[in-house]
């Protein structure tokens, strides 16, 4: 049965899928849009990261996909160390609901 909620969800998903097409159609038909990062006031690793984005979107994407899980693991291990240091032991906990 097709309910009002399913119809709204279908409209929302269709809108999301067609959004890039609508944005492309809204252009003036001139030159393609160039996406670059402004590196004039950046220094150090921020300048390197922005220059990597400007030079190669592929390398930027690959490095980002690799770094996000690595940073997540680092933060998780740090959180585990801090919780262990303050006395929270999640390895041998008893479930309160059982």
What are the pLDDT digits (tens) for 2-47?
A: 788 888 898 888 888 877 766 665 555 666 667 888 899 999 999 9
Q: How confident is the model at residue 79 (pLDDT cuts 50, 70, 90)?
A: very high
| Contact status, residue 50 vs residue 37, Cβ threshold 8 Å | yes
Quick check: is 98 in a domain?
A: no
Quick check: is 94 in a domain?
A: no
Quick check: is 3 in a domain?
A: yes
Quick check: is 97 in a domain?
A: no
Any idea which residue has 């996909």 for tokens? 65
Choose between 34 and 68: higher pLDDT.
Answer: 68
Count the domains in the chain.
1
Quick check: is 91 in a domain?
A: no
Quick check: is 32 in a domain?
A: yes
Cα distance between residue 32 and residue 24, in whole Å = 10
Quick check: is 38 in a domain?
A: yes
- The secondary structure of residue 40, as a DSSP letter, is T
Q: How confident is the model at residue 91 (pLDDT cuts 50, 70, 90)?
A: confident
Quick check: is 77 in a domain?
A: yes
Average pLDDT rounded to a whole number, residues 51-76: 95
The domain of 81 spans 1-86
Cα distance between residue 88 and residue 80, in whole Å = 9
């Amino acid at each position: 049965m097709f309910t009002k909620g399913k119809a709204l969800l279908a409209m929302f998903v269709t809108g999301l899928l067609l959004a890039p097409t609508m944005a492309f159609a809204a252009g003036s038909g001139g030159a393609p849009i160039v996406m670059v990062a402004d590196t004039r006031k950046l220094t150090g690793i921020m300048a390197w990261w922005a220059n990597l984005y400007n030079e190669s979107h592929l390398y930027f994407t690959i490095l980002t996909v690799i770094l996000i899980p690595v940073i997540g693991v680092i933060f998780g291990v740090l959180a585990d160390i801090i919780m262990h240091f303050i006395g929270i032991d999640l390895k041998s906990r008893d479930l309160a609901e059982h």
